[in-house]
Structure 1
Amino acid sequence: MSYAQPDAVPVVHAHAHVPAVTAVPDPVPAADRHAQGWTDALQRILAEPHCVRVHYQPIVDLQRGAVRGYEALARFPEAAGVGPRDWFDAAAQLGYAGALEAQVMQAALVTRPLLTRDRFIAVNVSPAALLSAEVQAVLAAEHSLERLVIEVVDQPDGADLDDVAAALTRLRARGALVAVDDAGAGARSLERVTALRPNFVKVDGSLITGIDADDTRLEIVRTLGQFAARLDAWIVAEGIETAEQLDVLVQLGVPLGQGYALGRPSAAMGELDRTIAQRMRTRTPNPAAAERLSGLMDRAPAVPVAGGPGAVTEAFASHPAADHVVVLTPNGHPCGVIDSPAHQRGTLPRAPLSLTGGVPIADAARRAMARPLATRFDPVAVIGEDDAYVGLVPIDRIVGALAR
């Protein structure tokens, strides 16, 4: 996602309003006044960190109707009339990109301890700023980078993609996840995704606009989802502004999304409106198929039993939106399922109830409730005719389907 709000000006114009405190003295030649004014403004911002604040826009699990994270967006409250993107464009042009983006990164990291255990915070970074000494110093000062998503913005600033990929590999080793924005906005966006191998592929908002009335856009988003799945990544639909767009994305099976229809950026880490959450939960990808267990499946990550606890830990780290991880035997049959809190406590995965996708949901509910109390509310594993793992169904989804 870009730094700008939808109506922000994407370039630094000579007539852009700069805060009055940065007024340029008369002796500066007319041709240099604009650059000098922005330099003064940037230097003041960098000298006074409180001038940069962070607002949070929720990133929502579209299949469950729950907040999974937040994108941290820079705001400059003392510079009324100047859009965030103006500041970042000026900083890039005048050599302050690393310093300004490091200040935003620091402001976002300060609030990371406020996150609940199953949420993350995403921070925008331009490729060149990511490689800068200033941003690297801020990240190096952190004990761990868990639950931090480094969102690499689409900015042609001359940074070498191989260098950016190497820097991201080092950050991943410390627990960070990676997102690439504006996927589908051009051929270069897919090149960036391929080179950087992100955990999240953010679909450009231009593809979401009108998706409820344009089958071409729908097919492009579907294809991007398939492409991301091959890289073991999740897609995030940006710019969701209407209930109709949201309905299409939910039915398409898009896992994550953000936009004004789900929540506007605010100074607090907000929750999802209950009405909107309920709307998502009641719109399954295929209402007819929901009569069978296969129509309620989630995409839960799976690991081989030979991988041990370390494989489970890595799976949760790579899939922050996942509630459970499934453990598989060598022939692909589910032999264990565990949620993140239980794994952190050192609890071993428990053998799940395994049923084929064609089982009616009423029968699945009866089978689940016949289990011992300790495992009665564990998710149901869905298997194919070959006994191999296909998906996972939470018990609350079975109950919700029966209640409709």
Structure 2
Amino acid sequence: MPPAGPAAPTEDPAVPSPRAVPEDAPPDWPALVAGVLEDPSRLRLVVQPIVDVARAVVAGYEVLSRFEQPAGVAQPLTPDLWFAAADRLGRGAELEALVVERALALRADLPDNCFLTVNVSPHLLGEPVLTDLLLGAGDLSPLVLELTEHTAVADLTPVVALCGRLADRGALVALDDAGSGYSGLQQLTTVRPHLVKLDRALVAGIHLDEAKLALAEMLGELAGRLDAWLLAEGVETWEEMDAFLRLGAPLAQGYLLARPSPRFEPLDAAVAARLRSAAARVSFVEDVASLVEPVRCEDPTTGEPLLLEAGEVGIRLDAEAHPAALLLPLRREGESGHRTARVSLRARPSDGVVELARRAVARPEATRFDPVVVVDDIGRAVGVVRAERVVARLVALLEGAGGR
């Protein structure tokens, strides 16, 4: 998606420019782009909630840009036109850097346990004005860089390398418009994002289209294999929302749930109540929280190894208290001791059990039945879920639904 979507219908009308221009004049893009860069007050930021559908609460916000509509220009100049024009003029990185800089400042008012996504173009991410801004900003959490692409990038290797450096500073990466084409799938497997946003064209009317449902399910499984969250963007009807609840998608965004606002607003109480009711009606959706097994964690600051009992599972933490590795019993029966294994899958307590099962079995064979590490909204370990508990719960759900 472009660095911002179309202006929300509820937004105040743009303030006309005081310059005298003929009626219905074509946009003077060089002057318009230069004007915004020289006077950033001509650019406003709004935020749209991203909802944790299982808990019916806001999990994060997306930063969207709003520009003044120039006087005398009849054609609505939507944000995507502004960013495309700036890119053509060689000033795209400057305009995106302006948005990113202001988004970084918004974190001071961000509600607890929420992330903030901001759009960046991969072909511009390596430009010094953007790179220097991000690398010089210190701790980037809980920022999510949403990679949009309307210009082909022949080699994503530098982008992936830079995203790795930014991840070391706390930033996460989202990939926009998944499912929009082969190039999008290539980016998905190359970039390996933390968040995968479904293309709006795939979301619209999904409850009426079996092909769309199948593609969304496939992308959900692929996201699970990459240990990424799936986000349904552009949800506008309850029928679409019900479809994604049945698929087990953990996150959703759209006018149905909340419109863009100048402030960080919570989810409307009536919308939250209806979302909880809709989730309760959907078969085979139950929280992972009921399966979580608390485990002991090895603290890297002490320098002392964690001594585990036979059959016990542990978690090794990194310097930020995030799960770095699993401590698992040795594979052969009768052997004492433990082995270290990488964390192959993370989940949240609010995730659905069926969605967790899909993601778990999508892992490589060597790690397919390793415990899943459960983390809170800021990545701290809550516990683990063992594969046998997931299977037992799926059987119980199937029997409860009348299946045999």
TM over 0.5: same fold? yes
Give the one of 66, 82, 99 matched to 1:75: 66
Give the one of 33, 41, 45 matched to 1:42: 33
Q: What are the residue-to-residue correspondences of 1:204-353 with 2, within 5 Å?
A: 204-284=199-279, 295-297=286-288, 305-308=314-317, 310=319, 312-314=321-323, 322=348
Classify 1:6/1:340 alpha carbon distance in 2 versus 1 (closer, same or farther; 3 Å): closer
Partner secondary structure for residue 70 of structure 1? strand
Indicate the residue corresponding to 1:176 in structure 2. Answer: 171
CA deviations over 1:333-392 (Å, ceiling 9, x no partner):
79x98857996xxxx97xx8xxxxxxxxxxxxxxxxxxxxxxxxxxxx7655x468989x
Indicate the residue corresponding to 1:97 in structure 2. Answer: 92
Q: What are the residue-to-residue correspondences of 1:92-171 with 2, within 5 Å?
A: 92-158=87-153, 160-171=155-166
Letter in 2 for 1:277: A
Q: C-alpha distance in 1, partners of 2:127/2:209?
A: 41
Partner secondary structure for residue 123 of structure 1? strand
Q: C-alpha distance in 1, partners of 2:379/2:177?
A: 36
Letter in 2 for 1:146: S
Give the one of 174, 193, 197 matched to 2:192: 197
Letter in 2 for 1:39: P
Classify 1:338/1:167 alpha carbon distance in 2 versus 1 (closer, same or farther; 3 Å): closer
Indicate the residue corresponding to 1:63 in structure 2. Answer: 54
Shift of 1:22: 9.2
Letter in 2 for 1:198: P
Shift of 1:287: 5.1
Q: C-alpha distance in 1, partners of 2:235/2:120?
A: 22
Q: C-alpha distance in 2, partners of 1:5/1:387?
A: 42
Q: C-alpha distance in 2, partners of 1:155/1:320?
A: 31
Whether the 8 Å CA contact 1:127–1:157 is kept in 2: the answer is no
Q: 183-192 or 73-82: which moved more?
A: 73-82
Letter in 1 for 2:99: V
Classify 1:219/1:57 alpha carbon distance in 2 versus 1 (closer, same or farther; 3 Å): same
Letter in 2 for 1:259: G
Letter in 1 for 2:151: P
Partner secondary structure for residue 208 of structure 2? coil
Q: C-alpha distance in 1, partners of 2:193/2:20?
A: 39
Q: C-alpha distance in 2, partners of 1:22/1:201?
A: 45
Whether the 8 Å CA contact 1:237–1:257 is kept in 2: the answer is yes
Classify 1:53/1:340 alpha carbon distance in 2 versus 1 (closer, same or farther; 3 Å): closer
Shift of 1:297: 3.1
Partner secondary structure for residue 128 of structure 1? helix
Indicate the residue corresponding to 2:2 in structure 1. Answer: 2
Whether the 8 Å CA contact 2:236–2:255 is kept in 1: the answer is yes
CA deviations over 1:100-133 (Å, ceiling 9, x no partner):
0000111111111111221011000011221111
Shift of 1:78: 5.7
Classify 1:289/1:218 alpha carbon distance in 2 versus 1 (closer, same or farther; 3 Å): closer
Q: Among the aligned pairs, what percent are the same residue?
A: 35
Q: 264-273 or 156-165: which moved more?
A: 156-165
Q: C-alpha distance in 2, partners of 1:227/1:50?
A: 41
Classify 1:320/1:109 alpha carbon distance in 2 versus 1 (closer, same or farther; 3 Å): farther
Letter in 1 for 2:56: G
Whether the 8 Å CA contact 1:68–1:321 is kept in 2: the answer is no
Classify 1:289/1:242 alpha carbon distance in 2 versus 1 (closer, same or farther; 3 Å): closer
Partner secondary structure for residue 202 of structure 1? strand
Q: C-alpha distance in 2, partners of 1:311/1:342?
A: 9
Whether the 8 Å CA contact 1:212–1:245 is kept in 2: the answer is yes
Whether the 8 Å CA contact 1:54–1:72 is kept in 2: the answer is yes
Letter in 2 for 1:184: G
Classify 1:70/1:7 alpha carbon distance in 2 versus 1 (closer, same or farther; 3 Å): closer
Shift of 1:194: 0.9
Structure 1 gaps, min length 5: 9-17, 25-32, 353-380, 392-404
Classify 1:22/1:154 alpha carbon distance in 2 versus 1 (closer, same or farther; 3 Å): farther
Letter in 2 for 1:120: F
Q: C-alpha distance in 2, partners of 1:338/1:209?
A: 31
Whether the 8 Å CA contact 2:322–2:379 is kept in 1: the answer is no
The TM-score normalised by the length of structure 1 is 0.70
Classify 1:319/1:270 alpha carbon distance in 2 versus 1 (closer, same or farther; 3 Å): farther
Shift of 1:273: 1.6
CA deviations over 1:149-172 (Å, ceiling 9, x no partner):
000002215463111111111100
